[in-house]
Amino acid sequence: MGYQYQDNEEEVILRVRDSPEINISCILSKPESSNCPDTPRAAILVHGFGSHKNAVFLSKLARKLSKEQGVYTMRIDFINCGDSTKTGENGRTLQDDIDCINVVYKYLSTGGVHGKRLFVDALVGHSRGVVDIFNWQLQHPEIYVPNLVACAGRFIGRGLLDSILANNPDYEEKGGRFISGFQDGAYRPVWVPYKEDESLFTLEMDTVKHVNKDTSTLLVYGTRENVIPLEDAARYNNTLAGRNTLKLIPGADHCFLGTEKLSPEQRRLGKLPVHKSGVVDYNFQVADEISEWLEVANVHKRFLEKARMVHPYLSRWHDVPGLSNFRDIGGYAVSNSNAYLQYSKIYRCDDLTGVSLGTVAHLKRLEIAKVYDCSSCGTRDPGSLLQENNIDYVCRANRTPDEMHALIYKQIRDHPMDPLVIINDSELILSLMVVAGVDPLLVAQEALLYSSSSFRGATLGTVYTCVLNAIANLSLDNVCTRVGFTCNDINTLRDNLVTKFPKEAI
């Protein structure tokens, strides 16, 4: 009997390289509103060598993410695997896999799911799928994916060739080998040509050090790994030091199964699930570990660690009397370039509770000459201290939000070197960062920062969803209309918002 689809799952067939002859079969798992609110988050799950979209922990993880976190998940049968197009003697190269992931990413991020724009914030790979997700990300540095999960992946490509030659002495003479691969619902002999293996065994995965510095990684390996040297886990861990978490599953092999059959008594007394082969099935534990790591609160804890400093010598937060949660919005990477959002130019804070000499002194130290209070109440009276010290205080008062936004947009366009503060206007900060080219997922995470040591509590997931939905509905044309800008104005504004100096070199 084949795979039984869940009520929230559907098959999606996608064309690869715009070729009508090459299609991949995917399973889309959708959030179930009865259990968890729908979110715009999405994850792509990919399998390993000769495997398929329901192997190991993939289907279990998809169910957990969609049912418990409201995440859309897509798991793929790569070409020549499972229910996807068979390529015969041409096999399936690393580039084929990367092209498949790219097709799925575009489908999710451009409204393929019932017209809804989704934000892919996680890629999860098993075995060869680890090499796939890392190399996809390296080929697409303009795309920011906050979370990469690598399970039982190979680091030294040469090790694959050594393993092949040990088991297939006539491999080079024949130009390939047969493996037991999963196709059309069953394992059967599948031809793997030399060029397919060559695309993998020529790799050295120390290139992962070039993956976006804002991306976090999770490594999961079984302590009884029987396909890949366990030392490869240490190699990945060392190369990704500073942004990586390593999880070891005691007793698990390459496919996260136990290595010894359980006796009837062990089955009766054991608390762990048992695989049909009679060994412990650790894939449920793997799914739990990954799901927990991908919870919004944990994603943002990791983001906070990176966000505390704009660069190694400049704190993001400033303790300014009377201005709560006062922080610099600069230093975030801009997509499709080596630029970063200008630092020490635009600050934001949640509230103005009063102005003192200490407030003035700190603002002067930061060379701030403009304070824009976007609060709707319009009843604030900061006193004369700001004006007396040549700090212009602009209150929303009787202005509409669009009029207030237009003032600030024009200030940044016309006076790019003058630092300013924006009080209580998350929507404006969102639009400025998006116009500058900061990735929406970074913008959304920044919006949730409450202080240098905490987040917005129990409503974090809800707020994150609201922010992503707001970004999804934000268009450049709409911004231009609201603030009275032309395309040239926007280009000038964007140039004023970014700097070409890489964050590490500041």
Average pLDDT of the residues in 331-357 = 89
The answer to whether residues 494 and 437 touch, using CB atoms and an 8 Å cutoff, is yes
3-state secondary structure of 68: helix
pLDDT at 33 over 80: no
Q: Final residue of a domain: which of 266, 294, 322?
A: 294
State pLDDT tens for residues 390-418: 899 998 878 899 999 999 999 999 999 99
Distance of CA 124 to the CA centre of its chain: 10
Q: Given a cut of 90, is residue 17 above it in pLDDT?
A: no
Instruction: Please name the residues in contact with 57: beta carbons below 8 A apart, sequence gap of 6 or more.
Output: 126, 151, 256, 283, 284, 286, 287, 290
Structure tokens at 157: 């490509």
Residues 388 and 344 in one domain: yes
Query: Could you report the per-residue pLDDT of 180-193, keeping only the tens digit for each?
Result: 999 999 999 999 99
Measured distance CA(154)–CA(156) in Å, rounded: 6
In a domain, 428, yes or no: yes
- The answer to whether position 371 is within a domain reads yes
User: What integer best gives the mean pLDDT of the chain?
Assistant: 91
Same domain flag for 255 and 358: no
Query: Does 356 have pLDDT greater than 70?
Result: yes
List pLDDT tens digits, range 450-467. Answer: 755 555 554 677 778 888
pLDDT number for residue 452: 55
The residue-averaged pLDDT of 65-94 equals 94
pTM: 0.92
**CA–CA distance, 482 with 186 (Å, rounded to integer):** 58
235 and 143 belong to one structural domain: yes
Which CATH number do you get for residue 261? Answer: 3.40.50.1820
Mean pLDDT within 49-69: 96
Residues 237 and 334 placed together within one structural domain of the fold: no
Average of per-residue pLDDT across 276-282 = 95
* Predicted local confidence at residue 501, as pLDDT: 62
Last residue of one domain, picked from the residues 230, 259, 294: 294
Looking at the structure, do residues 278 and 407 belong to the same domain, yes or no? no
Range of the domain at 24: 9-157+200-294
503 pLDDT more than 60: no
Q: Are residues 425 and 279 in the same domain?
A: no
> Residue 27: its pLDDT value, please?
98
pLDDT of residue 453: 56
Same domain (yes/no): 353, 464? yes
Please check whether residue 37 lies inside any domain of the structure: yes
Number of domains in the chain: 2
Instruction: Tell me the three-class secondary structure of 392-457, residue by residue.
Output: EEEECCCCCHHHHHHHHHHHHHHCCCCCEEEECCHHHHHHHHHHHCECHHHHHHHHCCCECCECCH
- Shared domain check, 256 and 281: yes
Indicate if the pLDDT at residue 441 is higher than 50.
Answer: yes
Give the integer Cα–Cα distance in Å for 63 and 42: 13
**Amino acid at position 301, single letter:** K
Q: Quickly state the pLDDT bin for 354 (edges 50, 70, 90).
A: confident
What is the mean pLDDT of the segment spanning 193-209?
93
Domain membership of residue 369 (yes or no) is: yes
Mean pLDDT of 147-165: 94
Find the radius of gyration of the CA atoms of the chain: 26
1 inside domain: no
Mean pLDDT on 316-342: 91
Let me know if residue 176 belongs to a domain.
no
Strands (E), 47-99: 72-76
Q: Are residues 148 and 69 in the same domain?
A: yes
What percent of the chain clears pLDDT 90, i.e. is strictly above it? 71
Q: Is residue 174 part of a domain?
A: no
Same domain, 320 and 460: yes
- Domain end marker among 253, 270, 294: 294
Residue given tokens 């002999």 in the structure block: 189
- Looking at the fold, whether 285 and 316 belong to one and the same domain comes out as no
Q: Assess if residue 171 is contained within a domain.
A: no
Report the C-alpha gap between 433 and 442 in whole angstroms.
9
**Calpha distance 137→142 (Å, rounded):** 9
Return the CATH number at 463: 3.90.190.10
**Per-residue confidence (pLDDT) for residue 35, from 0 to 100:** 67
Please report the pLDDT score of residue 88 as a whole number: 84
Give the per-residue pLDDT at 434. 92
Q: Is 506's pLDDT higher than 50?
A: no
Statement to judge: residues 261 and 324 lie in one domain: no
